[in-house]
C-alpha cells in the first residue's frame, strides 16, 4: 500500500445498506481479525458521499456479511501510527467504484447483482491507516459510478 506499513489486521468481510438521491448515505460494518493474535474487531461506519455515474440519480444497494467480500491486503498504517481497537471512534474517508445489473441480474438467477472496489481511510488529518477492499451485493436499480465521501467509524461493543 505504498508508504503504509503492513499490520497484522486483515479485513475478513463487510456488510452495508445504502440509498442514494444524488448523494449517497450508507451504514455498514467492517469485520477485522488479527492474524497473529486471533483477536476479532467489528467497526461500524456511516458515510455520506457524492460522485458521478451512469444510471438513475436514485438507488438502493445492500450486502450482508455472508456475501463475498474482503480486503486485497492487510490494513496498512502510517509509520509511527497505530491501528487496532484503541483507534476508534474516528473519522475518515471512503472512496469507491461500483456497478450493478440489479433486476437484470435477478432475472438471470444471480445471487448477487452488483459489486464494488473501495478504499477505506481511517483518520482525517492526519490519516493513520487504510485498507483496500472489494465486495458483492444487491441493488434495486442498474447503474455504475464512482464516489468519495466522509465517514464516521466506531468500534462495536
Question: What is the residue extent of each domain of the chain?
Answer: 5-155
pLDDT of 90 above 90 = yes
Whole-number pLDDT of residue 104: 65
d(CA 119, CA 11): 12
d(CA 146, CA 53): 6
Whole-number pLDDT of residue 2: 60
59 in Cβ contact with 19 (< 8 Å) = yes
Mean pLDDT, the chain, whole residue set: 92
Q: Among the listed ranges 32-36, 91-95, 105-109, which one has the minimum average pLDDT value?
A: 105-109
pLDDT, tens digit, 9 for 90 and up, residues 44-87? 999 999 988 888 888 888 899 999 999 999 999 999 999 999 99
Report pTM.
0.91
d(CA 21, CA 19): 7
Which residues contact residue 2 at a Cβ distance below 8 angstroms, ignoring those fewer than 6 apart?
76
Furthest-apart CA atoms within the chain: distance in Å: 51
Q: What are phi and psi of 85, to 5 degrees?
A: -55, -30
The mean per-residue pLDDT over the stretch 117-127 comes to 95
Whole-number pLDDT of residue 53: 85
The mean per-residue pLDDT over the stretch 19-36 comes to 94
**Total H helices, total E strands in the chain:** 1, 11
pLDDT of 119 above 60 = yes
Percent of the residues in the chain that have a pLDDT greater than 90, as a whole number: 72
31 in Cβ contact with 70 (< 8 Å) = no
Of 64, 32, 62, 51, nearest to 144 (Cα)?
A: 51
- Based on its alpha-carbon atoms, the radius of gyration of the chain, rounded to whole angstroms, reads 16
The mean per-residue pLDDT over the stretch 11-31 comes to 94
Whole-number pLDDT of residue 122: 98
Amino acid at each position: 500500500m505504498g508508504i503504509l506499513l503492513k499490520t497484522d489486521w486483515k479485513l475478513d468481510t463487510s456488510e452495508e445498506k445504502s440509498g442514494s438521491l444524488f448523494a449517497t448515505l450508507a451504514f455498514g460494518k467492517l469485520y477485522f481479525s488479527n492474524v497473529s493474535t486471533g483477536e476479532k474487531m467489528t467497526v461500524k461506519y456511516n458515510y455520506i458521499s457524492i460522485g458521478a455515474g451512469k444510471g438513475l440519480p436514485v438507488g438502493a444497494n445492500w450486502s450482508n456479511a455472508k456475501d463475498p467480500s474482503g480486503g486485497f491486503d492487510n490494513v496498512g498504517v502510517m509509520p509511527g501510527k497505530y491501528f487496532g481497537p484503541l483507534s476508534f471512534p474516528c473519522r475518515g474517508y471512503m472512496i469507491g467504484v461500483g456497478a450493478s445489473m440489479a433486476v437484470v441480474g435477478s432475472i438471470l438467477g444471480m445471487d448477487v447483482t452488483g459489486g464494488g472496489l473501495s478504499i477505506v481511510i481511517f483518520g482525517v488529518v492526519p490519516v493513520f491507516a487504510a485498507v483496500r477492499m472489494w465486495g458483492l451485493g444487491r441493488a434495486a436499480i442498474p447503474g455504475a459510478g464512482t464516489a468519495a465521501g466522509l465517514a464516521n467509524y466506531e468500534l462495536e461493543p
